[in-house]
Chain A
Amino acid sequence: MQSNHQNEVKYIESKALFPFIKRLFGYCLKYKLWLWVLLSAILVNSFTEAILPLIWKYLIDETLIANVSGEKFSDSFHIGWHTIAIFSIYYFLILALNYVSEIYVINNTGKMRLHVIRDLREEMFRKMQFLSYSFYDKTSAGWLIARMTYDSERLSELMTWGFINFTGSIIMIIGCLIPMFILNFKLTIIVLVSLPIILFISLKLRSMILKYARESRRINSELTGYFAENLNAIELVKSNAIENYRSSGFSGINKRLKKASLTTSIYNAIFQPLLVFSGSIVAGVILYHGGYMSFKEATISIGTFGAFFAYVRNIFMPVFDLSRTYSLALSSLSAGERIFSLIDESIKIKDNENSILHTDIKGEIEFREVDFGYLANQKVLKKFQLKIKAGESIALVGPSGEGKTTLINLLCRFYEPVSGEIIIDNIQLNKICISSYLKQIGVISQVPHIFTGTIKSNIILSNTNVSDEDIIQTLKILGAEELILRLNEEAGNEGESLSNGEKQMISFARAIIKRPKILIMDEATSSMDAITESNVRKSIKSLLENRTAIVIAHRLSTIKECDRILFIKEGRIAEEGNHESLILQRGMYYQYYKSYSKDFSEIQNN
């Protein structure tokens, strides 16, 4: 799961922090009512907690201090029931408020968090469905999975729990400071001066910790990537007994991970005691001054002294929390950047309001001076010209990597030409509504993807109006009778329980059952065995009828049925014609063909 994605926008560095945060909280603002309830609940919750020592102080001052004589209380000491009753009521009220608000805080925060995750994922997933092939060329699956899982968890945690902690801590600090000010101004100033210093130290330390935490997270994703790769390649690893080689690779990364997370932990280990100790220095100073003020100057009561001491010990907890939120924010904001860069990724190929719903394609195809390259500095097609009549079948032949599959990618509008245009039935392809167009095109690819589910569901895909009859009919045409009996069999994870030839057969059926107007076969039979292939080929003639077809094949046998053969080399048509005429030309096709037939004549001559 590496982050090889070039388009990650750095909102934080580019000083667009404010709009970025505003946008983040936009996700929470969708649940306005919950948010307001939550905010008031936090206010009540933190305040009721902060006020407890104050009540304690009044209770002590009211009941005890008045009766102090020496270390013991005076003998005539008596507490009025009515004082106890009043304080019990205070306590009860505060506890009730605290309880109810706590329920709301936990419930609403969790609820919001779950909803925000859901929304983020939904939005990303939606985007991912509509991004074009070129996006997937440069983005690894791991990167996307990390955005969908880990990052969305992080970000939603920041926006909910992080936000709650932040607000809660601030309110708590204020909630402590107000009673402190009321109790004694001078002592409060001592605390107030120390607060920013301690906050500063802790924030500084936090960013150090974060640096190492990031490093270890990066290594962690590397480790996960390695792990996942090994799972996919397990047969390969085992059949060659290279387990030890792979293990040493793994433990290398693992060692680095251990080192990085240990460093993080050690910085973390400094953090807490340092903060506790600096808090204690302040408490020590208060102990001295408070003692002086209450006993020497008698400017404060002993109850005040006690309450103050309790507050000083309490006030550093929220500071600690604040710094924790800060580091959560720092680490999660980058998760936010990555998520937004995915959400903001522009969909390069999409319908616009002028798109034509072309539901009845005739199948006339024209490439007009099409230039194309996957990378900016590299051209696969150069001023490519091709006209295919409706109902015509075309075979594309030639060495691999010279532009055959590219033609198909462009025709299916998986990519857009750099210049030039593609015309379908006299309409520019980029003006046709994509999904209506693709529903009429059947692509049979070399390495078809098989989804988890039954063989049947893999053939039908979205065509729910396909009857079992249709499926059986199609498979019969293709000569794949044995698949008919296995329709309800599970294909397994990524089609594990199917052979490559079976996958190709499913891909064939998948395309044919759509009754496409344009049929595209990209090395569609390469993994089939000879008899299956010959069965398919027998049916090809009928399949090509009444539809435009483009066939790519290395196996020349597959292309025999086509009306026209194009030999593609270096992104242009090098030779063109039918089989016989191309053989007679004695050109590249002839050479190519000769090497193919050689081995058979060898067998015969043996």
Chain B
Amino acid sequence: MKRKSSTIKNLSSLLGKNKWIYLISSILFIGVIFFRVLEPKVFEWTINSLVLHASNKNLGINEILRFPISSIELFTWDSFFVILIYYSILYLIVTLLRSFMVFTANVLNARSTEDSLAKLRDRIFNHLQKISVYHYIHHSKGEMIQRSTNDIEVVKSFVQGNIVEVIRIGFMVFFSLIMIFQISPILTIISVCLMPIVVIMSLRFYTIEKRTWEFHEIESDKLNTLIQENIQGIRTIKAYALEDESLQSFHKQNEARLSTGLKHNKLHATYWPLMNLIVFVQIVITNLSCIWLASKSHINIGEVFSIGLYANMMLWPIRQVSHIISNFSMASVALSRIEELLSIPKESSFEEGLKPEKIEGKIEFRNVSFQYPGQQKNALTNVSFIVHAGEKSAIIGPTGSGKSTILKLIIRLYDVSEGEIYLDNRNIKEYSKKYLREKIGVALQNSILFSASIKENLKAFKNNANTENMKDVMELACIDKILGTDEKGFEHIIGEKGINLSGGQKQRMAIARLLIKPSDIYILDDVTSYIDELNEQKILQSFQKMMEDKTCLIISHKLSTIIFADKIIVLQQGRVIQQGDQKWLAKEKGYFNIIYTLQTEKANEPALSI
């Protein structure tokens, strides 16, 4: 039950300010039920009036209307038709009022819930952007997508449909009981005698249903992940003729999902008909008792009919209870999954902190050690170095030596475990993260582009970029010839939905993006690995031009990209093993010397034979 109340709390926080509109619509729904319950009453009155009339009793107008209006003289026309027309019209008015209220309530309901859900989607999206990147490693993307799309849909259908249903059923039962009570108190008790069984069963059903559904969801998630992964790796699968293997693993998971689905279905097939049956039995019991009471002259003929209608009216919706419970379980699972996502803590000191006019560019690492969350091994151990303002430094080292980690620490995607990083002699932790990331131009190893137009891809990095700016950076990144440089060319969509770019072209586009962003410091992580030599040379010249008096950190393992570095820092297994200028390092025995020899040897050797 604790879970239930938290679900309700979650729902109310989800509705937020819209709660009141939602409440008004709910009250309207109660009004709707009132009118609905009035309908059988009208039928009862009709019958009873007609029966009275048939027994040749002369009816006064007040008796016909069932409530005293005034002492109007007796109608001159046949009171039989007055009765008929009056009640038929009364019936229509009641239903018209009801329909109108249903409409208003529906509209208000939709307005409040659609607005709340739109807000929730925005909230999830914004929240996921504000959590640390570390959480992205621990939550699968498929799961995140599932939670923010499917789960929201589940919640939506629950809030828009099921809660309204609950109100409807609750008040339907309530009003119907009042009506029946008016006629016969004993019948009221008889007409709900089986309901405790329904309640007990429902509670039991709720717990089992929820558990079963959770299992089913887990298997479904696994299947979806498998599908996604397969599509992403399809080219490799084909190149290695792995079709049969992937079919097999798919088949296995597909069957696993089927079997949990069947369990879930079996549960429905057990509970739903049983609930149905109880309701039916209840109706029959009510009907028969009704007849019995009539025989004892406790109730009249019109009342027999209206009780029949009330019993139906009240009990049929109870059949829905089990469906609502199913949906409630699903919605509460969905809500708690969404809540879980939203409870991931945001990154701290994102906005608040130092925001100087300009970064001069002195970077200092003092005995920095770092461990990725959840990992045993240090990614960096006791790393110290200084890059002076305006200096060009290169960080080289073998794969996995921690080069990219340095980048991530400087822009504070992660915070150091030990030691300090200073930027312009202030501890980097004093700066606002947002500020750092805005002022430092970083090019990441994987050049991911947004599937949007070239223009939008560039504008994301400089809001007020004009065509001239874009033209410039496209040229500097040597991508202008492929994607065009005119207004029209910039409207081309790139990425998955548009022009398919090769690895090198993507990198060039990412470089254009980097160059358009106004930055005080540049950090480039292996940005030219897929670019061919000719273009690489041109791009390196662009870099030199753009980054002339700015601090620049180049992460690479290619000598060609670091030629303009004043200083080289060599990393191995997370430690700085050498640092100094190129010439000195080239002579000094060590890693740099080795790769220097390796790469220049190749270059020189054939030159001899020219």
In the complex, whether A258 has a CB less than 8 A from a CB of chain B is: yes
A-B contact pairs, 19 of them (CB 8 A): A2-B497, A69-B55, A95-B284, A98-B280, A107-B269, A130-B243, A132-B238, A235-B444, A240-B438, A270-B103, A276-B102, A306-B308, A401-B502, A445-B239, A447-B503, A530-B557, A584-B610, A596-B560, A596-B603
Which of chain A's residues 93-127 have a Cβ closer than 8 Å to chain B? Answer: 95, 98-100, 102-103, 106-107, 110-111, 114-115, 118, 121-122, 125-126
Give B553 Cβ to nearest chain A Cβ, in Å: 13
Contact between A245 and B460, CB atoms less than 8 A apart:
yes
Contact between B399 and A236, CB atoms less than 8 A apart:
no
A78 nearest CB neighbor, chain B only: B295
Q: In whole angstroms, what is the CA distance A604 to B140 when docked? A: 49
For the complex of A and B, list the 3 residue pairs with the smallest distance between their C-beta atoms, beginning with the closest. Answer: A269-B106, A265-B110, A110-B265
In the complex, whether B530 has a CB less than 8 A from a CB of chain A is: yes
Q: In whole angstroms, what is the CA distance A69 to B87 when docked? A: 22
Would you give the 0/1 interface string for B434-457, flagging 1 where the beta carbon is closer than 8 Å to chain A?
111110001011101011000000
Contact between A79 and B295, CB atoms less than 8 A apart:
yes
* Residue in B87, B149, B262 whose beta carbon sits within 8 Å of that of A287 in the complex: B87
* Residue in A266, A400, A438 whose beta carbon sits within 8 Å of that of B502 in the complex: A400
Among the listed stretches A164-172, A385-393, A490-498, A540-548, which one makes contact with chain B, having 4 or more residues with CB under 8 Å of it? Answer: A490-498
Contact between B141 and A493, CB atoms less than 8 A apart:
yes
Give A376 Cβ to nearest chain B Cβ, in Å: 16
Contact between A102 and B272, CB atoms less than 8 A apart:
yes
In the complex, whether A17 has a CB less than 8 A from a CB of chain B is: no
Q: Are A63 and B444 CB-contacts (below 8 A) given A110-B265, A118-B254, A250-B125?
A: no
Among the listed stretches B5-13, B197-205, B229-237, B382-390, which one makes contact with chain A, having 4 or more residues with CB under 8 Å of it? Answer: B229-237
Contact between A95 and B288, CB atoms less than 8 A apart:
no
Among the listed stretches A182-190, A225-233, A354-362, which one makes contact with chain B, having 4 or more residues with CB under 8 Å of it? Answer: A225-233
Would you give the 0/1 interface string for A302-323, flagging 1 where the beta carbon is closer than 8 Å to chain B?
1001100110010000000000
Among the listed stretches A195-203, A291-299, A365-373, which one makes contact with chain B, having 4 or more residues with CB under 8 Å of it? Answer: A291-299
Q: In whole angstroms, what is the CA distance A140 to B399 when docked? A: 32
In the complex, whether B48 has a CB less than 8 A from a CB of chain A is: yes
| Chain A residues near B261 (CB-CB < 8 A) | 110, 114
Contact between A71 and B51, CB atoms less than 8 A apart:
yes
Would you give the 0/1 interface string for A425-461, flagging 1 where the beta carbon is closer than 8 Å to chain B?
0000000001100110001011111011000000001
Q: Are A500 and B526 CB-contacts (below 8 A) given A238-B413, A280-B91?
A: yes
Chain A: number of interface residues, binned into ranges: 35 or more
Given contact pairs A118-B257, A230-B129, enumerate 12 new A-B contacts (beta carbons under 8 Å).
A72-B297, A77-B294, A133-B238, A141-B228, A148-B227, A234-B136, A245-B463, A258-B115, A261-B114, A448-B236, A500-B529, A597-B603
A296 nearest CB neighbor, chain B only: B80
A398 nearest CB neighbor, chain B only: B532
| Chain B residues near A493 (CB-CB < 8 A) | 137, 140-141
Contact between A258 and B231, CB atoms less than 8 A apart:
no
Give A75 Cβ to nearest chain B Cβ, in Å: 7
| Chain B residues near A240 (CB-CB < 8 A) | 437-438, 442, 460-461, 517
B118 nearest CB neighbor, chain A only: A258
| Chain A residues near B371 (CB-CB < 8 A) | none
Contact between B99 and A438, CB atoms less than 8 A apart:
no
Contact between A68 and B276, CB atoms less than 8 A apart:
no
Among the listed stretches B69-77, B180-188, B483-491, B594-602, which one makes contact with chain A, having 4 or more residues with CB under 8 Å of it? Answer: B594-602
Contact between B273 and A106, CB atoms less than 8 A apart:
yes
In the complex, whether B577 has a CB less than 8 A from a CB of chain A is: no
Contact between B231 and A144, CB atoms less than 8 A apart:
yes
Give A443 Cβ to nearest chain B Cβ, in Å: 5
Contact between A449 and B400, CB atoms less than 8 A apart:
no
Would you give the 0/1 interface string for B267-311, flagging 1 where the beta carbon is closer than 8 Å to chain A?
011101110110011011001100110110100111011001100
Q: In whole angstroms, what is the CA distance A33 to B184 when docked? A: 50
B239 nearest CB neighbor, chain A only: A443
* Residue in A52, A133, A269, A276 whose beta carbon sits within 8 Å of that of B235 in the complex: A133
| Chain B residues near A499 (CB-CB < 8 A) | 399-400, 404, 445
Give A166 Cβ to nearest chain B Cβ, in Å: 19
Give A259 Cβ to nearest chain B Cβ, in Å: 9
Among the listed stretches B14-22, B245-253, B328-336, which one makes contact with chain A, having 4 or more residues with CB under 8 Å of it? Answer: B245-253
In the complex, whether B343 has a CB less than 8 A from a CB of chain A is: no
Contact between B247 and A126, CB atoms less than 8 A apart:
yes
Q: Are A532 and B398 CB-contacts (below 8 A) given A71-B52, A125-B250, A309-B43?
A: yes
Would you give the 0/1 interface string for B115-135, flagging 1 where the beta carbon is closer than 8 Å to chain A?
101100110011011100100
| Chain B residues near A230 (CB-CB < 8 A) | 125, 128-129
Contact between B241 and A438, CB atoms less than 8 A apart:
yes
Most buried by A among B140, B245, B301: B301
Contact between A239 and B413, CB atoms less than 8 A apart:
yes
| Chain A residues near B529 (CB-CB < 8 A) | 500, 526-527
Contact between A110 and B91, CB atoms less than 8 A apart:
no
A233 nearest CB neighbor, chain B only: B448
| Chain A residues near B230 (CB-CB < 8 A) | 125, 128-129
In the complex, whether B349 has a CB less than 8 A from a CB of chain A is: no
| Chain B residues near A292 (CB-CB < 8 A) | 84
In the complex, whether A557 has a CB less than 8 A from a CB of chain B is: yes
| Chain B residues near A306 (CB-CB < 8 A) | 47, 305, 308
Contact between A529 and B250, CB atoms less than 8 A apart:
no
In the complex, whether A34 has a CB less than 8 A from a CB of chain B is: no
| Chain B residues near A232 (CB-CB < 8 A) | 141, 448
Q: Are A283 and B606 CB-contacts (below 8 A) given A73-B297, A241-B438, A554-B533?
A: no
Contact between B136 and A231, CB atoms less than 8 A apart:
yes
Contact between B600 and A103, CB atoms less than 8 A apart:
no
Q: In whole angstroms, what is the CA distance A102 to B250 when docked? A: 33
Contact between A399 and B532, CB atoms less than 8 A apart:
yes
Give A38 Cβ to nearest chain B Cβ, in Å: 12
Contact between B85 and A598, CB atoms less than 8 A apart:
no
In the complex, whether A488 has a CB less than 8 A from a CB of chain B is: no
In the complex, whether B193 has a CB less than 8 A from a CB of chain A is: no
| Chain B residues near A438 (CB-CB < 8 A) | 238-241
Contact between A63 and B268, CB atoms less than 8 A apart:
no
* Residue in B84, B266, B596 whose beta carbon sits within 8 Å of that of A107 in the complex: B266
Contact between A246 and B530, CB atoms less than 8 A apart:
no
| Chain A residues near B88 (CB-CB < 8 A) | 284-285, 287-288
A100 nearest CB neighbor, chain B only: B273
A257 nearest CB neighbor, chain B only: B118
In the complex, whether A194 has a CB less than 8 A from a CB of chain B is: no
Contact between A601 and B98, CB atoms less than 8 A apart:
no
In the complex, whether A410 has a CB less than 8 A from a CB of chain B is: no
In the complex, whether A414 has a CB less than 8 A from a CB of chain B is: yes
* Residue in A237, A284, A451 whose beta carbon sits within 8 Å of that of B92 in the complex: A284
* Residue in A88, A555, A579 whose beta carbon sits within 8 Å of that of B288 in the complex: A88
Contact between B50 and A239, CB atoms less than 8 A apart:
no
B292 nearest CB neighbor, chain A only: A79
| Chain A residues near B47 (CB-CB < 8 A) | 291, 302, 305-306
Contact between B434 and A71, CB atoms less than 8 A apart:
no
* Residue in A225, A400, A492 whose beta carbon sits within 8 Å of that of B532 in the complex: A400
